[in-house]
Structure 1
């Protein structure tokens, strides 16, 4: 496990119960994961690429995880960023201008991935069939410096008419690949320049994808 001058590692996951708010104001520990079952947690941003959680981050119904504006969000160094972020009816909110990445993608069953000017950066976004719409707001930056050429968005078909709504602007060089039988709605003014490929299900563009190189809809989608 790599180290940081002011950061120690604890393999145990944090489980948060109770309606109150828990706040991390300094970056002195990296925990093995997070189970947010009730209430809310506020953290400072990651310190030099070292985040607060290295295992699975689970955000359950009615709860909120807020990452403040300083630092590098969830972190980006291998071993010091989440293995996955799993939003089950809860909210993850980023408040700054930073880009972060995680190794296992974001998995949503309803709930919200929200921000103002924060730029989310990950390679895989998956939604589970749900009666409520999963929502992503704020800027989403698809970066190619991680060695990938596309962001895969896998949308399951649930009871909600719109399974996944992405209302923020998607930027960056790589494109997106839509998989799964569900409906994805892009309502932002997107400026990513890679390809748009729809392998399955439905893609509705209420905003724009004017800079996309090519748009391909495969048979059956």
Structure 2
């Protein structure tokens, strides 16, 4: 996919989908986008985004996930993304997140956009509880060159006013080099909204 005028690849209102070994270059919005609105509205479930290459987004993230349950973003390579390399957030309380895993991705030169509002190469915010409670794993990712933190969890941002409300957040085994911010940025206020936090 080359120079898409919107998202490079959009997976909408879906269940049991695999996006594997795709190349997305020069998308205007997010390189790969997983959302809940299509011809119907439903929470994305059992979705695997793996082994893809995303290069140069004009306005969006490399891979963006709006909640979902049993969602895996693994083994992808993202470079020169306007926003975060991987961006996990929520816009609709009707479809709260469940288990989301972001593992083994290589993220280089993220948040290069002048108006980027995601202050982390991996950014998580505004995830709210509902029928499910967010359980997020961020593990084994390699991050190089970002003007912000390696991993940022929190809020608010220009598109979300709430802190993330998480049942569990596990951050382990990530490598961060040449970042202007800290490897992991989670404010004390945000930490109070996480039932179980594991950082190693």
Query: TM-score, structure 2 length as denominator?
Result: 0.57
**Which residue is 1:109 aligned to?**
68
By how many angstroms is 1:170 displaced? 4.8
Q: Is structure 2 residue 176 aligned with structure 1 residue 191?
A: yes
Distance in 2, Cα, partners of 1:184 & 1:113: 15
Distance in 2, Cα, partners of 1:80 & 1:167: 22
Distance in 2, Cα, partners of 1:77 & 1:205: 34
From the superposition, tell whether residues 55 and 67 of structure 1 become closer, same or farther in structure 2 (CA, over 3 Å): closer
Of 143, 151, 167, the match for 1:171: 143
Any idea what SS the aligned residue of 1:77 has?
coil
Preserved CA contact (<8 Å) 2:46 2:71? yes
Q: Name which one, 1 or 2, has greater alpha-carbon Rg.
A: 1
Gaps of 5+ in 2: 37-43, 155-162
User: Counting strand residues as a fraction of each chain, which structure ranks higher?
Assistant: 2
Preserved CA contact (<8 Å) 1:110 1:135? no
Distance in 2, Cα, partners of 1:97 & 1:77: 12
Of 38, 46, 60, the match for 1:90: 46
Gaps of 5+ in 1: 1-45, 208-221
- The one-character-per-residue Cα deviations of 1:147-183 (angstroms, maximum 9, x if unpaired) are 3361341132356676211223151322124231213
Preserved CA contact (<8 Å) 1:114 1:137? yes
Distance in 1, Cα, partners of 2:96 & 2:198: 21
Query: TM-score, structure 1 length as denominator?
Result: 0.53
From the superposition, tell whether residues 170 and 191 of structure 1 become closer, same or farther in structure 2 (CA, over 3 Å): same
Any idea what SS the aligned residue of 1:191 has?
strand
Preserved CA contact (<8 Å) 1:76 1:100? yes
Give the 5 Å matches for 1:124-135. Answer: 124-127=87-90, 129-130=96-97, 132-135=98-101
Distance in 1, Cα, partners of 2:70 & 2:51: 17
From the superposition, tell whether residues 100 and 134 of structure 1 become closer, same or farther in structure 2 (CA, over 3 Å): farther
Preserved CA contact (<8 Å) 1:59 1:92? no
Any idea what SS the aligned residue of 2:170 has?
strand
By how many angstroms is 1:143 displaced? 0.7
How many residues are matched?
155
